Structure 1
């Protein structure tokens, strides 16, 4: 794997070692390989790790396949991939409802990750999971295209710097916008489900904005401050307004779960450009 990255105009002056370790989160073992193999170049010349770099410099890296571990994935069908944005390092696709994000068993072939692996295979690239959407949820989902960028995206996610906005339709009429701040934990009686658990649950915050009230339902937007399993579904059900079509948290049948990840914002790890991606047309 060969990458050439032009440091953005916002780049602070620092050493190669600091750039690799603190900015790009390259593992210690891989930094050692890069140094001993002399596989880091600055503006076309082999770079020393104590050398300073600054905005506008071109940093080139050569990574061996063996530098990072990779779990082989069975190839699915590339035709199922709907690309919303793609570059050398990241890809955002529009996940259909009813499709799992990734396999839970090694022989699975019909998940989004399988299909994305098939899409990327002709380019000699591989997908890496950054976050997930429930099987029943549709919309924008981000993957890394190499192990080099994966920890940087993971840090953005942990620091709540990947903004995700969802469309949803709930039963009943919500009266006003609200913030739901309720810890979520596992349901001891049903391993598929999550529950509100103030004592043992993980902190979870969901911001809800009303888009439109209809006869018996409300169309809403949700923004997550945390990313717990089933967070939107559990939080709305706890208010007495479960999502339409939710197979776990309400009993009324519907064609699908009415939850769609419609928008994603984040700062690109290398260009530092603000990325705004929408998965249209959405639910309405």
Structure 2
């Protein structure tokens, strides 16, 4: 994992050390970060502090993350929809109800387990044993396209495009209510929810997050939208649409249950992916048709 360093800004003034770390390292749980503080892996201005230490503007926070246990991730013969493959990368059309990589409670049956079986020649090792080849993720109950790197060089190239926001990632979603504007930009920072730690939320001290929305079709009580990401925060589209008052249909984490649609997850599909190929330096572009669950929902509404 390695070392990281952050500088507290004005809007961080007065918050606890553990809360500050949650806003900066949203990929980790609060309990994990509190453990790092307790084990003196976190320094504020080169001094050991406690979880409740109050941060001030200008403070330098250094983090030496605890190394995870080495785990053996098994290859599993799980069918996957390969859209494109060469010696450097794989583009996969992930179905709903498939976790991308192993984590607590999901050590088997993930996309990574399937890819280890399929790509016997190997995947990039930059993200370690648990997330080999994984450049970016989509949620368990979101369907659609993602690119996986086979080599470390390809991984670095793709990760750079992702961080510089030059990778095209477009989604289709069905949301509740009628969006009156034909196009809108949602520019609202996202961070961990202050109370419900499994959720993300629009919070002042969160990381910048921008989602561009285009209305494709209006129905009686719903809207079909095209959403493109300028940033890649956890649950970004789901959080932004709930924040706008138009939550994604079927998203029980950020909206009320809608059992009558008989969905197994949110109606959110990553249908378009484009990037510069790390070996040829040519722009490549992929599309994934709407899956049956999404088509069935459109008929119902």
Is the shorter-chain TM-score for this pair beyond 0.5, marking a shared fold? Answer: yes
Question: Which secondary structure state, in structure 2, belongs to the residue aligned with residue 91 of structure 1?
Answer: strand
The Cα shift of 1:272 comes to 1.3
Q: Hey, what does 1:189 align to over in structure 2?
A: 195
Q: Give the Cα separation in 2 of the matches to 1:197 and 1:106.
A: 28
Cα distance in 1 between the residues matched to 2:108 and 2:146: 19
Q: Tell me, yes or no, if the aligned pair for 2:99 and 2:106 is still in contact at 8 Å.
A: no
Structure 1 residues not aligned, in runs of 5+: 1-69
CA distance in 1, matches of 2:285, 2:157: 18
In structure 2, what is the equivalent of residue 211 of structure 1? Answer: 216
8 Å contact from structure 1 (residues 74, 107) kept in 2 = no
Runs of 4+ in structure 1 deviating by more than 4 angstroms, as ranges, are: none
Residues 219 and 269 of structure 1: CA distance in aligned 2, closer, same or farther (over 3 Å): same
1:95 maps to which residue? Answer: 94
In structure 2, what is the Cα distance between the partners aligned to 1:72 and 1:188? Answer: 34
Equivalence for 1:274: 283
Question: How much does 1:235 deviate?
Answer: 0.5
Displacement of 1:237 in angstroms is 0.5
Where do 5+ consecutive residues of structure 2 fail to align? 1-69, 124-131, 296-301
| CA–CA separation in structure 2 for the residues paired with 1:107 and 1:207 | 32
Q: Does 1:146 align with 2:146?
A: no
Q: If the length of structure 2 is used for normalisation, what is the TM-score?
A: 0.67
Q: 3-state SS of the aligned residue for 1:149? A: helix
Compute the RMSD of aligned alpha carbons.
1.7
Distance 1:248 1:208 in 2: 21
Partner of 2:38: none
Residues 89-121 of structure 1: per-residue CA shift (max 9 Å, x gap): 010100111111101149711111111111112
Alpha-carbon displacement from aligned partner over 1:233-259 (angstroms, at most 9, x marks no partner): 010101110000002011132413100
Residue of structure 2 equivalent to 1:75: 75
Distance 2:276 2:236 in 1: 24
* Structure 1 segment 164-183 matched on structure 2, within 5 A: 164-176=169-181, 177-183=183-189
For 1:266 and 1:243, locate their aligned partners in 2 and report how far apart those are by CA, in whole Å: 26
Whichever of the two has the greater Rg, that structure is 1
Answer yes or no: is the 8 Å Cα contact 2:82–2:91 preserved in 1. yes
- Give 2:274's aligned residue: 265
For residues 198-243 of structure 1, give each alpha carbon's deviation from its aligned partner in whole angstroms, at most 9, with x where no partner exists: 2x11000000000000111100000000000011001010111000
Equivalent residue number for residue 30 of structure 2: none
Q: Is the 8 A contact 1:180 1:205 kept in 2?
A: yes
Distance in 2 of aligned mates of 1:106 and 1:248? 18
